[in-house]
């Protein structure tokens, strides 16, 4: 029995998770996904020229978080495994990138190909950690799974403090990142370059995830989520499927963490606390479990909310003491409230609601035409 | 629940989210102007800071930035500097380096501040040095004594404020050498440059092997019983603390619980008596006999003209908040920044501000000289020792100054300057 069943939309409406027969769609899935990625990529480039540096930086941060939320939504929404430890997997990726970049810098190596190499190393190391956790997770259900992943979320940041010789404790490590290539011109804004970098990596990850979801593996993920016995009868190796889901999800989380470290040019355990792990889960639930577009809403929420609450507290003329109390805690409170409201009003999350509205409008419009 | 209400709620929450998303991707339309200086208009100069208003280091420190702001409000009420009002944007980073990255980028890229002033914390501020440098933002009077701020070649726009931790370590160790000779000295420091620099100073005076037990703490773990237990087991008689206020209080409280009563020698950043007394509550008498350091007028010296001035400003512009060492500190930072703006002249640019600081020669509330020059970006160059007796913290002995290398610890005898009549500096 999956822990996330309750969070999924009831079965009387067709969910938009690819459960629908394929004949409704046109052409090959791969081509369609490629076209979408290309369009979004072009849009991102256009946007990066249109908005100011800080917005570029925020969008880049959204992209980095999107990697992690997309992986988490595949694991939790499609495969039914709850993970409270994705923040720790992000930390694994982040620290790997920091150690690699520092090692390259110490050896005086420079070049544009080093960063992709470090990002690759981050994915590999996170896959290794994810595989270990995944093997344990495949044997556990419900609250026990939540417990194990919770332990991971607490242990990994603590390791950074315990082995401070390598990880430099709470101060963390700096991540040397090279400036944009000179071929883009000497005054190319650094934040635009950051958006290009993270955007490209994230789109690539999303393309692979989207293809995976629509493939045989995606179908076995869902089969295992819905009914393990039936899946076994259909010849699906349940444990293997679960480990695979965990590893895929870990890889994207590691990439997300690595991108965050590159953006901030530093990495510290404080960035990957238990709160982040919980925030990630809340974000994918509010966005809409099991949908990549839902993961996008979740990532936007993660970046926008602290910023928004800060503006709100600035607008209100509060006494300094009250403002201080609200400052760190208001985002948490709003997140919690949003989660409750969304669960009551739209169990399918933001994306579920949007697609329902879209379908309603479409039905009305076609009814008027006939 | 009614279907209508349900749908209404859902739509409302979605709209709220969409608005945030739109706000996130929208263009504010305020493109960078021509040759204008960021954060400077004819009537206003905007500066920003990052402070731990929440989190493990917020005890005491959260009062610094409001005090600085109160001093600016006072100056603004008196006509500002060169006709410009000072706007101070205070951002909370919770003493978490990851948050500091975010809020400083927001200040520089979105709010377009002229400078970052008094950003607090060794681990937090270390992470934004390169970012501020690459954006050519003046990074003035960092609220920490790390030696990292004093690298004029590498970070030309960064200047310290606090005496550096190595200088402080030397002065504390010098006291131990003169007055507590032959006693076993141990050390507890924060697990970053703060603790490391401080320990380096202590060992410069006492010798490399003289510190019997060295322990570290991290701010995310509020249990220092193992460290204090190790001190007790080793029979430490003197414990030097390089700790933020919350952890000074925690260490002293934990030691009392374990029945361990050494002589505490505490860093200036964690030795403000009102802050510690508030933290310890009923256990405040445990602070009796604690030796600390400071370099600004003591908050309880009601006869000191600086304290009188700051008390008045605190009443008028800070809602009469409890007056302690952090208030004095915050206002002293504000005073120094106003002096800097004055010295930079009417035609304000980032380069001119940095030149003005490097020119130095500032006279203010400090008991020791500010060391600013083109070759030296560190702040105050010494300290004076204080002791708590009868629940009152007061200075004793002379002020000392020394360098961060192997120089001797010397007495400093110049008398501090008096504040200007109306409390606003004039061009010196």
Q: pLDDT tens across A20-50, in order?
A: 444 455 578 889 999 999 999 999 999 999 9
Which residues of chain A does B278 touch, with a Cβ-Cβ cutoff of 8 Å?
A: none
B55 and A297 within 8 Å at the Cβ level: the answer is no
From chain A, the residues in CB contact with B94 under 8 A are 328
CB contact under 8 A, B97 and A172: yes
Instruction: Tell me, yes or no, if B19 comes closer than 8 A to chain A by beta carbon.
Output: no
* B99 interaction partners in chain A (CB closer than 8 Å): 270
Q: Which is higher by pLDDT, B208 or A254?
A: A254
A314's torsion region: left (phi>0), alpha (psi -120 to 50) or beta? alpha
pLDDT cut 90: percent of chain B above it? 77
Give the least confident one: A87-101, A223-237, A344-358, B109-123: A344-358
- What was the pLDDT predicted at A91? 96
Q: pLDDT band at A343, cuts 50/70/90?
A: confident
Which residues are within 8 A (CB) of A338 and not within 5 positions of it... i.e. 6 or more apart?
A286, A301, B13, B16, B17
* pLDDT value at A4 more than 70: no
Contacts of B219 in chain A (CB under 8 A): 170
> What pLDDT is recorded for position B27?
38
Q: What is the pTM of this model?
A: 0.81
> What is the distance in angstroms between the CA of the first residue and the CA of the last residue of chain B?
72
Q: In what order do the strands lie in the sheet with B115-117?
A: B85-92, B44-51, B115-117, B139-142, B158-160
What is the rounded radius of gyration, in angstroms, for the C-alpha atoms of chain A? 21
Inter-chain residue contact A55 with B192, CB threshold 8 Å: no
Distance from CA of B178 to the nearest CA of A (A): 34
Share of chain A above pLDDT 90, in %: 55
**Is residue B356 a contact partner of residue B343, using CB atoms and an 8 Å limit?**
yes
Is residue A230 within a helix (H) or strand (E), and if so which, with residue range? helix A228-233
Q: What is the pLDDT of residue B48?
A: 97
Give Cα separations from A75 to A87, A88, A245, A281, A335 (angstroms): 14, 15, 6, 11, 22
Q: Cα separation of A348 and A342, whole Å?
A: 8
Q: Would the CB atoms of A327 and B21 count as touching at under 8 Å? A: no
Which pLDDT score, from 0 to 100, does residue B397 have?
93
Three-state DSSP at B400 gives strand
Any A CB within 8 A of B183 CB: no
Residues 325-384 of B with CB under 8 A from A: none
Residue spans of the domains in chain A: they are: 31-174+190-273
Q: Could you give the CA distance from residue A108 to residue B256 in angstroms, rounded to a whole number? A: 51
A vs B, Cβ pairs < 8 A, gives 155
How many whole angstroms separate alpha carbon B86 and alpha carbon A95? 40
Q: What is the mean pLDDT of residues B240-245?
A: 96
**Closest by CA position to A10, among listed A283, A348, A284:** A348
Whether B26 sits inside 8 A of A51 (CB atoms) is yes
Cα three-residue angle B99-B141-B327, rounded to 5 degrees: 85
Angle, vertex CA B26, rays to CA B25 and CA B32, nearest 5: 110
Longest dimension (CA), chain B: 81
């Amino acid at each position: 029995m999956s822990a996330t069943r309750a969070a999924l939309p009831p079965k009387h409406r067709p969910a938009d998770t690819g459960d629908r027969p394929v004949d409704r769609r046109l052409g090959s899935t791969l081509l369609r996904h490629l076209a979408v990625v290309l369009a979004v990529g072009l849009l991102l480039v256009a946007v990066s020229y249109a908005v100011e540096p800080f917005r570029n930086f925020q969008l880049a941060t959204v992209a980095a978080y999107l990697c992690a939320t997309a992986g988490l939504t595949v694991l939790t929404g499609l495969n039914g495994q709850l993970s409270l430890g994705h923040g720790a997997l992000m930390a694994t990726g982040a620290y790997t990138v920091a150690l690699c970049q520092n090692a390259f810098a110490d050896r005086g190596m420079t070049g544009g190909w080093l960063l992709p190499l470090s990002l690759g190393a981050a994915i590999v190391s996170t896959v290794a950690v994810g595989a270990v956790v995944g093997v344990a997770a495949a044997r556990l259900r419900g609250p026990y799974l939540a417990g194990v992943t919770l332990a991971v979320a607490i242990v990994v940041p603590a390791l950074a403090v315990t082995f401070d010789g390598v990880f430099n404790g709470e101060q963390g490590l700096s991540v040397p990142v090279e400036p944009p290539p000179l071929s883009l011109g000497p005054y190319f804004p650094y934040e635009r370059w950051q958006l290009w970098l993270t955007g490209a990596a994230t789109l690539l990850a999303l393309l692979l995830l989207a293809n995976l979801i629509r493939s045989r593996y995606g179908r076995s993920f869902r089969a295992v989520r819905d009914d393990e016995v039936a899946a076994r009868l259909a010849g699906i190796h349940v444990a293997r499927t679960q480990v695979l889901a965990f590893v895929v999800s870990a890889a994207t989380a590691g990439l997300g963490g690595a991108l965050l470290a590159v953006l901030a040019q530093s990495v510290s355990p404080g960035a990957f606390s238990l709160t982040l792990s919980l925030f990630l889960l809340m974000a994918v639930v509010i966005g809409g479990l099991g949908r990549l577009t839902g993961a996008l809403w979740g990532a936007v929420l993660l970046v926008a909310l602290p910023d928004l609450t800060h503006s709100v507290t600035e607008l209100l003329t509060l006494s300094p003491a009250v403002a201080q109390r609200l400052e760190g805690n208001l985002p948490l409170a709003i997140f919690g409230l949003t989660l409750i409201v969304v669960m009551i009003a739209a169990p399918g999350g933001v994306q579920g609601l949007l697609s329902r509205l879209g379908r309603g409008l479409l039905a009305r419009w076609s009814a008027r035409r006939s | 629940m009614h279907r209508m209400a349900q749908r209404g709620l859902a739509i409302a929450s979605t709209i709220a989210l969409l608005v945030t998303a739109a706000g996130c991707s929208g263009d504010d339309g305020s493109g960078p102007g021509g040759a204008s200086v960021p954060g400077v208009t004819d009537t206003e100069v905007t500066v920003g800071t990052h402070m731990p208003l929440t989190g493990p280091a917020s005890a005491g420190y959260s009062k610094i930035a409001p005090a600085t702001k109160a001093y600016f409000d006072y100056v603004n009420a008196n006509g500002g500097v060169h006709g410009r009002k000072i706007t101070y944007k205070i951002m909370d980073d919770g003493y978490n380096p990851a948050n500091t990255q975010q809020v400083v980028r927001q200040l520089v890229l979105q709010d377009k501040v002229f400078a970052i002033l008094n950003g607090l914390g060794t681990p937090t501020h270390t992470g934004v040095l390169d970012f501020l440098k690459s954006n050519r933002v003046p990074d003035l009077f960092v609220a920490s004594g790390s030696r990292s701020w004093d690298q004029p070649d590498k970070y030309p726009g960064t200047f310290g404020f606090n005496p550096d931790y190595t200088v402080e370590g030397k002065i504390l160790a010098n006291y131990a050498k003169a007055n507590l000779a032959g006693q076993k000295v141990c050390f507890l420091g924060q697990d970053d440059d703060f603790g490391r620099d401080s320990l380096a100073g202590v060992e410069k005076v006492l010798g490399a092997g003289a510190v019997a037990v060295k322990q570290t703490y991290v701010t995310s773990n509020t249990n220092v019983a193992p460290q204090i237990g190790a001190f007790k087991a080793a029979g430490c008689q003197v414990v030097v603390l390089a700790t933020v206020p919350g952890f000074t209080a925690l260490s002293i409280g934990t030691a009392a619980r374990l029945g361990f009563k050494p002589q505490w020698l505490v860093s200036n950043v964690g030795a403000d008596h009102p802050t510690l007394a508030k933290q310890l509550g009923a256990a405040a008498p445990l602070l009796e006999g604690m030796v600390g350091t400071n370099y600004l007028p003591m908050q309880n010296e009601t006869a000191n003209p600086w304290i009188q001035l700051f008390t008045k400003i605190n009443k008028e512009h800070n809602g009469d908040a409890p007056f302690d060492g952090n208030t004095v500190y915050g206002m002293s930072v504000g005073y120094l920044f106003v002096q800097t703006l004055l010295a930079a002249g009417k035609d304000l640019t980032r380069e001119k501000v940095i030149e003005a600081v490097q020119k130095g020669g500032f006279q203010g509330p400090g008991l020791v000289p500010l060391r600013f020059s083109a070759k030296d970006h560190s702040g105050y160059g010494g300290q004076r020792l204080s002791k708590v007796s009868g629940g009152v913290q007061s200075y004793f002995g002379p002020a000392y100054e020394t360098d961060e290398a192997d120089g001797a610890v010397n007495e400093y005898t110049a008398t501090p300057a008096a504040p200007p009549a109306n409390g606003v500096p004039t061009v010196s």
